[in-house]
Amino acid sequence: METLGDRMRLQVQSQTNTLTPRLEIRNLRRRFGNRQVVDDVSLSLQSGKVTCLLGPSGCGKSTTLRMIAGVDMQDSGEIYVDGNLICDTVFRVPPERRQIGLMFQDFALFPHLSVCDNVAFGLKGSKDAKRARVQELLAKVNLGWAIDKFPHVLSGGEQQRIALARALAPRPRIMLMDEPFSGLDNRLRDGIRDETLAVLKEEDTAVLLVTHEPEEAMRMADDIALMRNGRIVQQGAPYNIYNAPVDKQAVAFFSDINVIRSTSHGALTETPFGQFLTPGLDDGAPVEIVIRPQHLKLDFDRAGKGPLPTASDGVAARGIVTRARFMGNESLVEFQMDHDASHLKVTVPNVFLPKEGTALWLTIRRDRCFVFPAQA
């Protein structure tokens, strides 16, 4: 008979199982020559979730992926799958036994094999069982009709979906994707991204997607790990990464930015747009207030006066239009500010194209400002 102790043990066990990451990397490091390309990277992936490793070109994303796949070897650090060590500096499970699927930009299918044979390539078992799995996957990517075709008769987008089916066929526990959509033209990309995401979720695969495109990460990720110079500088849900960035570069990675420079005194800084708190900063410490162009507001000049100050928008400062351009969904208006001749950019929905030399008043949405100590 099951005792209370057994039940509690089972409960603890099942909780542990749900908490154990599908993939965990701890303190991974890799150096090429005298350059530390991956510097103490730790990450956890959960089943059915997409984590995006997002960062500029050359920051070490692909090197991290290659170590996880087992095609490159870390200098130090460990890799675990379902809590089991698969690689440290002494022990190493070979790539083909890691149950990790790979999908790269250069996803080349085998041209001499049919779609069926391409997708079945990594499968074991009887011919019928393989064909059944191929049919199941092709149905998921809406390409059931192509099973007996050859790759060259398919479009780029269709080939990409076949590559996804091929990578998923052996039911990998983890899928590593390195810029898999960057070879596709813009019109196809969104649809294929969404479809890929749906299939990966359905298969409950843990996904690590490498990209240098913030829009792609925002669109696909449950979790974003922002990487810079070999390190993960911030990790979290897309909403948090966008709205609570760790530093100026993290804001700038997602959008254009404006920087208002000032100095801290008594844990406050005075700017032409009002005061801001600067907790923890020494007197005289330089401060940067960072704000995205869509979070400034414009108002007309009424005989040298602008709008009255408000708690949400602070004080208005006057600027002179230096340029205004229509961008499609919005207009971009650039200013030279009266108070210090600095330049600020403002985006306004639809068409708003004031003439060069027009005086306008700018306010900033205080809840959308990020205050950082100035970086050297």
Ligand X SMILES: Nc1ncnc2c1ncn2[C@@H]1O[C@H](COP(=O)(O)OP(=O)(O)OP(=O)(O)O)[C@@H](O)[C@H]1O
Q: Which residues are near ligand X by CB under 6 A?
A: 32, 37, 55, 57-63, 212
The least CB distance from residue 216 to ligand X, in Å, is 12
Classify residue 1 by burial, with Cβ atoms within 10 Å: 0-12, 13-18, 19+: exposed
Q: Which is nearer to ligand X, 227 or 291 (CB)?
A: 227
* Coil vs helix vs strand at 220: helix
Q: Which is nearer to ligand X, 30 or 173 (CB)?
A: 30
Phi/psi for 134 (5° steps) reads -65, -45
The least CB distance from residue 146 to ligand X, in Å, is 30
The least CB distance from residue 59 to ligand X, in Å, is 4
The least CB distance from residue 182 to ligand X, in Å, is 9
Query: How many angstroms separate the CA atoms of 270 and 261, rounded?
Result: 10
Instruction: Give the strand order in the sheet containing 268-271.
Output: 274-277, 268-271, 258-265, 286-291, 370-373
In sequence order, what DSSP letters do the residues of 13-27 get, joined into one string? Answer: HHHHHHHS-SEEEEE
The least CB distance from residue 176 to ligand X, in Å, is 12
Q: Which is nearer to ligand X, 61 or 166 (CB)?
A: 61
Q: What is the largest CA-CA distance in the chain?
A: 88
The least CB distance from residue 152 to ligand X, in Å, is 28
Could you tell me the two tokens for 124? 């074991």
Task: Evaluate whether 316 touches 370 at the Cβ level (below 8 Å).
Answer: no
Residue 314: DSSP 8-state: B
Q: Which is nearer to ligand X, 34 or 186 (CB)?
A: 34
Torsion of CA 11, 14, 15, 16, to 10 degrees: 120
Element (H, E) at 349: strand 343-349
Distances (CA, A) of 312 to 34, 167, 273, 277: 49, 51, 11, 14
Q: Which is nearer to ligand X, 65 or 333 (CB)?
A: 65
Nearest residue to 68 via CA among 167, 165, 178:
178
Q: Which is nearer to ligand X, 57 or 375 (CB)?
A: 57
The least CB distance from residue 335 to ligand X, in Å, is 34
The least CB distance from residue 110 to ligand X, in Å, is 25
Query: How many angstroms separate the CA atoms of 184 and 197, rounded?
Result: 16
The least CB distance from residue 240 to ligand X, in Å, is 22
Q: Which is nearer to ligand X, 45 or 321 (CB)?
A: 45
Classify residue 239 by burial, with Cβ atoms within 10 Å: 0-12, 13-18, 19+: exposed
Q: Which is nearer to ligand X, 39 or 330 (CB)?
A: 39
Q: Which is nearer to ligand X, 178 or 203 (CB)?
A: 178
Query: How many angstroms separate the CA atoms of 341 and 153, rounded?
Result: 59
